[in-house]
Amino acid sequence: MLADTAFWVAFYHGSAMPFAYRRRVEFRDTDAAGIVHFSVFFPMMEEAEHAALRHLGMSVLHPTGQNDHLTWPRVAAQCDFIAPARFEETLRIEVTVNKIGTSSVTYGFAFYLEGPSSGPEAVAAGDSPGKLVARGSITTVCCLMTPGQPLQKRPIPDDVRQRLETLA
């Protein structure tokens, strides 16, 4: 049974391990026409990205020392609307890593409708996705955050890169 709060589930697809995040469309996500407003896809992408990072044992604010943290500010975001999604429908948001640079990561997102009775068992190896409703991407840059200092761009640490590559 799908809980009222969003939850995630990882699944295998080929040799890589993409990540899928399931989220119910809330009333606040919809516009006067009763469909998901285009602007809502952006926070949904960020929510799914954060869930993927937690799944990998990381955080968008990752401690590196006593006061320092790695963080991932966004430098680009885009989303293409393809078909409507409505209140109380369930979306499966697939998260992949499209590109890993020296200090940047570009995530890809695909939003699919799932059936009304979908539960966690609905996303498994070989499951065909539902109807595609949107596709987008976010590019982030690895930065060191030190209190009282401006953000400093940093190369992605090897252990972080290895984790991210599992979503490529």
Q: Which residues are catalytic?
A: 31
Query: What is the rounded CA–CA span in Å between residue 14 and residue 17?
Result: 8
Closest to 41 (Cα-Cα) out of 138, 123, 168 = 138
For residue 41, the surrounding DSSP H or E stretch is helix 41-55
DSSP states of 102-134: SSEEEEEEEEEEE-TT--GGGS-TTPPP--EEE
How many other C-beta atoms are found inside a 10 Å radius of the C-beta of residue 90?
Answer: 21
